[in-house]
Structure 1
Amino acid sequence: MFENFLGNLKQKFQDHLNRKEEEKREMEKMQREIDFERKRVFQDEFKKNALKIAVGQAKKDAANKSGLQKLRSLNRLRRLNEPNATDPGNFFANFSAYTQRNLAKREENLKRTQAMREEAKRIREEDMKKRMEQRQNRTPSMVR
Structure 2
Amino acid sequence: MNIIDFISRNIFLKQIFPNGLTESVLLGQIGLNVGGQLSLNIHTQQKPEQEVSKWGLWGKNYNVIVIRLLGLGGENVIINGCKKINYGKINVIKGDDRTFITQTGDEWFIEIDVDHLIFQGCDTYIDGGDDPAL
Same fold (TM > 0.5): no
Shorter-chain TM-score: which interval?
under 0.3
Larger relative helix fraction: 1
Please give the TM-score of this superposition, normalised by the length of structure 2: 0.17
Larger relative strand fraction: 2
Query: Which structure's CA Rg is the greater one?
Result: 1
